[in-house]
Structure 1
Amino acid sequence: MKHSFYALLATVWLAAITPSLAQIATDSTTSKASSVSPSLSFSGYVEAYYTHDFTAPKTSQERPGFLYNHKRNREINVNLAYLKGTYASERVRANLALQVGTYAQYNYAAEQPLLRNVFEANAGVKLSKKRDLWLDAGIFGSHIGSESAISKDCWTLTRSLVAENSPYYLAGAKLTYNTPNGKWTLLGSVVNGWQRIAKLPGYTGPAISTQIQFKPSANVTLNWSTFLGSDRPDSLKQTRFYNNFYAILNPNGKVSAILSFDIGSDRKPIGVDGRRVGSGSYVWYAPVAIVRYSISDALKLAGRVEYYDDKNGVIIATGTQNGFQTLGYSLNVDYFILPTAVFRIEGKVYDSKDAIFESTSGFRKTNTSLTTSLAVSF
């Protein structure tokens, strides 16, 4: 696997240092009168971090199991680093991004070894000459939620509990339509599963995911995303229906906010006797509020309050009486050394209904941590 990854990485770098490739790139679906010339561009991102978990035993080098970003404890490491190539023309587009870091190590652990280093790989075709209607297929970032794995694009240094436990990426095919006035985005997709490149063994699928986004002005974004499918084998007959709602208010102002609410349900499974365990569904939900204050272009503060209720252990299993019912509080300071380089520091506290956090003296109901990072994009 290592030889294949390094060979692919070398190919991308070779293309980056060969200007003639961008000049000779052609698009058979674009006429000579096209207003957009084919282009090949490259970008990259590196985020180094250090996390100190004050609750965990000193010998523990990992953060709690429900976290996937900034996972390593008491060591300097790389959360995410990627190199991305993008091809774009009037009617064709493609992206390929290769990744390394602890995010890839933990979040892609269930994927095939060769695919764990693929952050993004997709190709798209514009289906209409007059309308902004695209068909894309491959591996792409998830449209579920307001947060992504790229820390510099998020208002808080670490991800919320709901972001860590809903899809960061999806694999499949999607149709995306943007209205001429730029206010509406409509998306429908057929995907392999709940954050899965390869289908879950025993699940025939497929799953369906949608997005409706409305931007009435530059200061307001309203979003509703859904997932309908399963993350269990067909034999259990557990249909999953998930809804993500969020609003982004005044994103470029002095004071801005993101308000979100996610709710999901898994139908109760079929037991060994062939009968359903019970009527109805297991339900989990998570509200999140993030407020950011821009002191200047270089200095920003952000605070987050969140709650995650999964008492039945559908997504986060604890084995305790009340399951996972946890409040989270965080405060971070961002200093933009340059527009492309940011230093961040964040303090965070989790407060759970049950004692689920490992400590030197056993298990505790609270967990406290401090995370710093330096991220550079190019």
Structure 2
Amino acid sequence: MKKKTLFSTTIAVAMAATYLDAAAQTTDTTATSAPTQAATQTAPNAGLTVSGYVEAYYAHDFTAPKTTQERPGFLYNHRRNREVNINLAFVKAAYTSDRVRGNLALQVGNYAQYNYAAEQTLVQNIFEANAGVKLSKNRDLWLDAGIFSSHIGFESAISKDCWTLTRSLLAENSPYYLSGAKVTYNTPNGKWTVLGSVLNGWQRIKKLDGYSGPSLSTQVQYRPSSKLTLNWSSFLGSDRPDSLKQSRFFNNFYAIINPTGRFGMILGFDIGADRKPVVRTGSDQRVGTGSYVWYSPVVIARYKTSDRSYINGRVEYYNDSNGVIISTGTLNGFKTVGYSLGYDYAILPNALFRLEGKVYDSKDPIFSAANGLSASNTSLTTSLAISF
């Protein structure tokens, strides 16, 4: 990995709701123009605004050898082991008017280090860079282009906006960011959001070498009330060179139940399929028949213990027996159950302390241990996040 460069220019964004009021994890609460928020005829916070975010953390992997400084390779956040580090820090500029909007955010931290490892050096410190124009004077219809946070999934890179300190397995192994152009429409009653996008690929700013076609993605979100959000997002494209003819179709489903109440729950499910690669027999070749399928269900629940604190729990499973997303080289592939229990305390409205214990149990021994490999992994993570 190439070392990240520090940025010196202070840029900006609008800061909105605190963690304890966050309803969905795809919404960045340091921004004013999230795609799932309905716009008004006149932008309520028109002009240039500023904010930022810093999350420091310490993770202790009890299973890994003492000299191992990284957590398992299928994790891309809070990955450094037994050291205090920065998971994500950014400053962000946002411009909003009644018909135009734009965002620019520069980042450093382990999130950028591991998630952007395949990108060109010039863009590895870009958290977000996009421009948008409202296509209708009377309708909430926007065209945005550039680099933006992914609409796929209920979790984002901004930990304070998520119900758990660390990310779910399905979030870690699906796009956190996307690059391309998208059209978003919000209905006047605020209950429906429909999005369609043309992308450079599966979490790629630079298109994969050898892949010629664009990828497509959609989102349909329904919010019948403040107590329920239903979402379906999809991806159609490939993350392989054209020569392999491996198309990918991926679906993300989730429901967020009672997000602002004392007790809330998230139900999520990812399922994807990559067509099997080309089969070559001498000079003859044909498209592979059938598909490699992976899937992941997750249940997250949290309980508000006071005006400043929550406890949360998570149960999840990830099945990728063919190693499409997570390759293990073992007989059964990646078949892993995860459990976590966490506690969150808002020291101040913009300062959040979090603590989480997590256990992974795998079908095969895939985790580094003092005596070789282990089928289970236990860790404890704590973090302090501030927004400004």
Q: TM-score, normalised by structure 2?
A: 0.89
1:184 and 2:185 matched: no
Output the amino acid matched with 1:342. Answer: L
Output the amino acid matched with 2:218. Answer: T
1:250 and 2:258 matched: yes
Cα deviation, 1:256-308, whole Å, max 9, x if unaligned, reads 00001110000000134353474210000000000000011211000000000
Distance in 1, matches of 2:43 and 2:60, equals 52
2:381 aligns with 371
Distance in 2, matches of 1:366 and 1:180, equals 49
Distance in 2, matches of 1:241 and 1:147, equals 20
Query: How much does 1:5 deviate?
Result: 6.2
Contact 1:268 1:276 in 2 (8 A): no
Distance in 2, matches of 1:78 and 1:5, equals 13
Query: How much does 1:139 deviate?
Result: 0.3
Structure 1: 4+ residue segments shifted above 6 A: 1-5
Query: How much does 1:36 deviate?
Result: 5.7
Larger Rg, first or second structure (1 or 2): 1
Distance in 2, matches of 1:53 and 1:347, equals 10
1:377 and 1:7, CA in 2 relative to 1: closer, same or farther beyond 3 A?
closer
Cα deviation, 1:153-177, whole Å, max 9, x if unaligned, reads 0000000001000000000000000
2:68 aligns with 60
2:33 aligns with none
SS in structure 2 of the partner of residue 376 of structure 1: strand
1:128 and 2:129 matched: no
Distance in 2, matches of 1:105 and 1:3, equals 7
Contact 2:275 2:288 in 1 (8 A): no
Query: How much does 1:6 deviate?
Result: 3.5
Contact 1:149 1:168 in 2 (8 A): yes
1:11 and 1:183, CA in 2 relative to 1: closer, same or farther beyond 3 A?
closer
Cα deviation, 1:74-96, whole Å, max 9, x if unaligned, reads 00000000000100000000000
Distance in 2, matches of 1:185 and 1:123, equals 19
Aligned-pair identity in percent equals: 71
1:329 aligns with 339
1:24 aligns with none
Output the amino acid matched with 2:360. Answer: Y
Q: TM-score, normalised by structure 1?
A: 0.91
Distance in 2, matches of 1:11 and 1:179, equals 29
Distance in 2, matches of 1:361 and 1:272, equals 41
Structure 1 gap ranges (5+):
13-32
Distance in 2, matches of 1:276 and 1:179, equals 45
1:213 and 2:221 matched: yes
Query: How much does 1:205 deviate?
Result: 1.7
Structure 2 gap ranges (5+):
14-40
Matched ranges for 1:352-367 at <5 A = 352-367=362-377
Would you tell me which structure has more helix in proportion to its own residues?
1
1:111 aligns with 119
Distance in 2, matches of 1:253 and 1:11, equals 31
SS in structure 1 of the partner of residue 152 of structure 2: coil
Contact 1:62 1:72 in 2 (8 A): yes
1:227 and 1:186, CA in 2 relative to 1: closer, same or farther beyond 3 A?
same
SS in structure 1 of the partner of residue 171 of structure 2: helix
Distance in 1, matches of 2:344 and 2:5, equals 37
Contact 1:135 1:173 in 2 (8 A): yes
1:198 aligns with 206
Distance in 1, matches of 2:186 and 2:12, equals 34
Instruction: Please report the RMSD computed on the Cα atoms of aligned residues, expressed in angstroms.
Output: 1.9
Output the amino acid matched with 2:104. Answer: L
Given candidates 263, 267, 274, the residue that maps to 1:266 is 274
SS in structure 1 of the partner of residue 285 of structure 2: coil
1:285 and 2:295 matched: yes
1:171 and 2:179 matched: yes
Given candidates 353, 364, 369, the residue that maps to 1:343 is 353
1:22 aligns with none
Structure with the bigger RCO (C-alpha within 8 Å, sep 6+) is 2
Distance in 2, matches of 1:4 and 1:330, equals 34
1:30 aligns with none
1:89 aligns with 97
276-285 or 97-106, larger mean C-alpha shift: 276-285
1:146 and 2:154 matched: yes
Query: How much does 1:8 deviate?
Result: 5.1
Distance in 1, matches of 2:295 and 2:378, equals 23
Distance in 1, matches of 2:264 and 2:200, equals 35
1:6 aligns with 7
Distance in 1, matches of 2:263 and 2:11, equals 44
Distance in 1, matches of 2:234 and 2:298, equals 17
Distance in 1, matches of 2:233 and 2:212, equals 23
Contact 1:70 1:102 in 2 (8 A): yes
1:309 and 1:74, CA in 2 relative to 1: closer, same or farther beyond 3 A?
same
